[in-house]
């Protein structure tokens, strides 16, 4: 089966709609009809399910995707401690944060030609603990080069919300490709493998890694059914695959530590998928800013793009909030 051949236009084609159940196939017929896991999948593909939540989560919070791939993802050698170091993490993977009452701000940080998107991550703040699925971590990145040709990464600890402050990230994922430009954000949920190139050179930005639940759009209350970030402005990759039988290294962040596993095929071999658990991107310029049109200012929660709810209604684990130019 030949790999996906894109025209330039097709390469960055997207499906629209955050939370929607999408289906996409790079080869016609890759997706079974009226069934999820037939004994024989078309083209000899393997059916796998990737779960973003408990199977028993309520429908509107349940996140699952069926993937149809060339080689089962479990086909790899054992994970070993990685050679890559995650700046800011101690060897046991459990940072001890020091809380201080003073407000801090970071100087502009440099990009570094020696590091890629992953090795250039630097932990700057956090709370909670990835191993018991509470809290989050905050990183800066300042990458100066592409990730190695045959290396992929995923975090088993949390979702990566990436804020591309400078430069462009070309992110190849198991689900397809995302081009994330300056002023855009991307979310790569827990467990999804990807590889990042820098088509326009050095890139820097922020990452919020969420250990607890997933990002979602905030409830809008009296704002009604549209406004702030709109559902249809979130973009999801179309299926794209490579049939690559060469040696790859998969690096995982697991419990705050990095591990590497070798495998004799590429991870980006998903020919089709359907479901509602996937990576996505959003152009912050599309934010529909709401504000006071009479007097006073609403609270900054009105600029919330994405929120990660806690079990306490109305209190988030994290809110991703922007201050748009046309807002007050």
- Could you say whether residue 91 binds its own copies (CB under 8 A)? no
3-class SS of residue 226: coil
- Could you say whether residue 60 binds its own copies (CB under 8 A)? yes
Among the listed ranges 93-101, 115-123, 139-147, 180-188, the one in contact with its own copies (CB under 8 A) is: 93-101
Active site residues: 297
Among the listed ranges 6-14, 91-99, 113-121, 237-245, the one in contact with its own copies (CB under 8 A) is: 91-99
Instruction: Give the residue with the Cβ less far from its own copies, 58 or 108.
Output: 58
Q: By CB under 8 A, what part of segment 137-196 binds its own copies?
A: 156
Q: By CB under 8 A, what part of segment 257-316 binds its own copies?
A: 257, 259, 261, 274, 283, 285-302, 304, 311-316
- Could you say whether residue 102 binds its own copies (CB under 8 A)? yes
CA 93 to chain centre: 21
Dist. CA 137–CA 122, nearest whole Å: 10
What φ, ψ does residue 97 adopt, rounded to 5°?
Answer: -75, 140
Number of residues forming the site for its own copies (CB under 8 A)? 97
DSSP state of 66: E
Closest listed residue to residue 18, CA positions, set 276, 319, 307: 276
Closest listed residue to residue 184, CA positions, set 124, 235, 123: 235
Spell out, one character per residue from 212 to 231, where the chain touches its own copies: x when CB under 8 A holds, - when not: -x---xxxxxxxxxxxx-xx
3-class SS of residue 274: strand
- Go through 177-194 and write b for each residue having 16 or more CB atoms within 10 A of its CB, e for each that does not: bbbbeeebbbbbbbbbbb
Q: By CB under 8 A, what part of segment 128-147 binds its own copies?
A: 128, 131-132, 134-135
Instruction: Give the residue with the Cβ less far from its own copies, 131 or 246.
Output: 131
Q: By CB under 8 A, what part of segment 15-54 binds its own copies?
A: 16-23, 34-38, 51, 53-54
Angle formed at CA 116 by CA 110 and CA 119, multiple of 5 degrees: 90
Q: How far is the CB of 139 from its own copies (least distance, A)?
A: 19
């Amino acid at each position: 089966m030949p790999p996906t051949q894109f025209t330039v236009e097709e390469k960055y084609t997207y499906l629209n709609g955050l939370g929607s159940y999408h289906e996409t196939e790079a080869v016609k017929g890759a997706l079974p009809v009226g069934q999820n896991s037939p004994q024989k999948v078309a083209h000899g593909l393997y059916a796998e399910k990737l779960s973003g939540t408990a199977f028993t989560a309520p429908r509107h919070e349940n996140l699952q995707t069926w993937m149809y791939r060339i080689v089962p993802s479990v086909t790899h050698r054992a994970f070993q401690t990685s050679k890559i170091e995650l700046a800011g993490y101690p060897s046991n993977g459990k940072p001890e944060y020091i809380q201080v009452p003073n407000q801090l701000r970071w100087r502009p940080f440099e990009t570094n030609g020696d590091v890629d998107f992953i090795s250039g991550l630097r932990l700057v703040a956090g709370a909670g603990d990835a191993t018991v699925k509470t809290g989050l971590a905050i990183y800066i990145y300042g990458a100066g080069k592409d990730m190695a040709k045959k290396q992929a990464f995923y975090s088993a600890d949390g979702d990566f919300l990436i804020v591309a402050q400078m430069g462009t990230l070309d992110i190849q994922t198991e689900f397809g490709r995302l081009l994330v430009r300056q002023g855009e954000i991307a979310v790569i949920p827990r467990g999804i493998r990807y590889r990042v190139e820098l088509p326009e050179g050095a890139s820097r930005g922020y990452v919020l890694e969420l250990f607890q639940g997933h990002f979602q759009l905030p409830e809008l209350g009296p704002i009604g059914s549209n406004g702030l970030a709109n559902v249809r402005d979130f973009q999801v990759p179309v299926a794209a695959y490579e049939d690559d039988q060469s040696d790859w290294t998969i690096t995982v962040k697991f419990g705050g530590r990095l591990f590497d596993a070798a495998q004799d095929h590429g991870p980006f071999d998903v020919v089709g998928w359907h479901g509602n658990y996937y990576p996505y991107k959003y152009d912050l310029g599309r934010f529909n800013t709401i504000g006071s049109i009479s007097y006073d200012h609403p609270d900054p929660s009105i600029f919330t793009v994405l929120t990660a709810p806690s079990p306490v209604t109305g209190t988030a684990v994290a809110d991703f909030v922007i201050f748009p130019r046309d807002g007050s």
